[in-house]
Amino acid sequence: MMRFRFHAAVAVACACATGLAAQRPQLAAAVREYVKVDAPVVALTHARVIDGTGAAPREDQTLVIRDGVISEVASSTALAAPAGATVVDLTGKSVMPGLVMVHEHLYYPTGPQVYGQLGQSFTRLYLAGGVTTIRTGGNLNGFMDINLKRSIEDGQRPGPAIDATAPYLNGPSGFLQIHALKDAEDAKRQVAYWSDMGATSFKAYMNITREQLAAAIGEAHARGLKVTGHLCSVTYGEAADLGIDNLEHGFMAATDFVADKQPDVCPAPIRGLQTIAALDENGEPFKALVRKLIDRRVALTSTLTIFETLAPGRPLPRGLDVLTPQLKEEFEKTHARTAQEGKKMGLLPKAMALERAFGNAGGLLIAGTDPTGAGGVIPGFSNQRQLELLVEAGFSPLDAIRIGTLNGAAYLGRDARIGSIAAGKQADLVVIDGNSAAAIGDVRKVDTVFRQGIGYDPVKLIESVKGRVGLW
């Protein structure tokens, strides 16, 4: 069992707890076609409850949902379904919290150095996969993420709750869609502008300087918002000293151990990867960095799914059939080439080992998938795969579920409302046709996804986009 220094408080039943949940939206007709359970009072009976805290499952439980909030959880022998409730018998099935995933995107590689904006199809796929809250880990379009967030909140589209990250904060780069920061004042202006426009988090990118990063963090924190980073020019240790809240991709983006690293300059990518491949998770240099991150309360996002698509000898990802035929074929060719290239430094096992060491030391490890790279990271399907990869890395299934639920909620500051199952919390739940606490692969067997107490049909959501992901 891994140890976390940042323990999230688990909500208990109290008169005020119901007020923590967001009001249920009035769903548009176009959303209702994906709904299978919607009633003022719902009783989920005879369920196995995996509550997201890491505690052992509780068998034969009844959960009562009233107006989108879990009002009661108890043994089915002690708690009867209320009169007039819609009763759903879950004998043989499990209920776990909806996934809270914090490195997601609403865009996808649709050509060489081209990213298509696929917000409408991706939000359906996330929800179908059991994801009820996402943070978009940077965007390339400006307003789509923010507008989708509002549209879902208003019941106009199906999808998870969205913590909408602003466009990347970056220095000069080859990305035509990314603004190049001029100086620290420009970094502050960008944070202020996008905060005013409705962005709720920020992401620093590879070519930002320490001065620009410090200015962005200061402005975001003054507004009560957080900053994460996929860094390169700034080391993890430097970013922690500047007050960053989160670092992406585990330790795979860390340049702290490159011997000739120059200030505010990215080393050659191969140099960074070589130092990570050679890094000893039991050595003092790595342990010192871990201690600093924990002391500075810096969370770390695991994105093992993106690294699996780049590693030889791994299975084809699930969900490729939702892509347009052309995108599916392109990724299958890429996967075949990767399979022939040999081991390439063994980076996936190293990423797993470093993340396991961080979690076991008490660091707050959170999870995401990053649907970018060479493709193949398909929303919903990849979120389930991320939990499987955490178990492959050495975490128990219960720990992997906690990383993908309560830990993410704790980082977002929403753990009083979502991320675990308890009376008074919002009914963001996933019904699994199996026991994911014993066999993590059962997370693939999603029967129903409840968001704010409304149960969605994953099959209908997936079928609505199948073969067309890449278009919208």
Q: Looking at residues 299-321, what average pLDDT do you find?
A: 96
Can you spell out the DSSP letters for 399-449? Answer: HHHHHTTHHHHHHHT-TTTSSS--TTSB--EEEESS-TTT-GGGGG-EEEE
Average pLDDT, the chain: 94
pLDDT at 22: 64
- CATH code linked to domain 99-412: 3.20.20.140
Say how far apart CA 167 and CA 191 lie, in whole Å. 9
Assess whether the region 17-97+418-463 and the region 99-412 belong to the same CATH fold: no
Quick check: 11 pLDDT over 70? no
Contacting residues for 54 by C-beta, under 8 A, at least 6 apart: 1, 398, 399, 401, 402
Task: Report which of 355, 429, 452, 432 is spatially closest to residue 399, judged by C-alpha positions.
Answer: 355
Instruction: Report the distance separating Cα 201 and Cα 446, nearest Å.
Output: 29
Beta-bridge partner residues of 99: 131
Q: How confident is the model at residue 466 (pLDDT cuts 50, 70, 90)?
A: very high
Quote the percentage of the chain above a pLDDT of 70: 94
What is residue 99's predicted lDDT score, i.e. its pLDDT?
Answer: 99
Q: Is the pLDDT of residue 240 over 80?
A: yes
Q: In this predicted structure, what is the pLDDT of residue 344? A: 58
Residue with tokens 């997201």: 52
Instruction: Report d(CA 229, CA 138) in Å as an integer.
Output: 9
What are the helix (H) ranges across 77-209?
119-128, 144-153, 184-197
Listed by start position, the domains of the chain span: 17-97+418-463, 99-412
Closest residue by Cα to residue 367 from 131, 180, 194, 79:
131
Across the range 101-105, mean pLDDT stands at 98
Q: Decide if pLDDT at 7 tops 80.
A: no
Identify which has the larger pLDDT, 46 or 1.
Answer: 46
For 180-237, the pLDDT digits (tens) are 999 999 999 999 999 999 999 999 999 999 999 999 999 999 999 999 999 999 999 9
402 neighbors 53 (Cβ within 8 angstroms): yes
| The pLDDT of residue 336 is above 70 | yes
Nearest-CA neighbor of 147 among 128, 164, 127, 160? 164
For 413-459, the pLDDT digits (tens) are 999 999 999 999 999 999 999 999 999 999 999 999 999 999 999 99
Q: What is the pTM of this model?
A: 0.95
What tokens were used for 229?
């980073």
Q: What confidence score (pLDDT) does residue 175 get?
A: 84
Please report which confidence band the pLDDT of residue 21 belongs to, taking 50, 70 and 90 as the band edges.
low
Q: Rounded to the nearest 5°, which phi and psi values hold at 83? A: -60, 135
261 band by pLDDT with thresholds 50, 70 and 90: very high
Report residue 191 as tokens: 């944070």
Mean pLDDT of 49-53: 98
Is residue 5 scored above 50 in pLDDT? no
Which tens digits make up the pLDDT trace of 111-160? Answer: 887 899 999 999 999 999 999 999 999 999 899 999 999 999 999 999 99
Q: How do strand 226-229 and strand 201-204 relate by DSSP bridges?
A: parallel
One CATH from 2.40.50.140, 2.30.40.10, 2.60.40.180, 2.60.40.10 for 17-97+418-463? 2.30.40.10
76, 61 contact by CB (below 8 A): yes
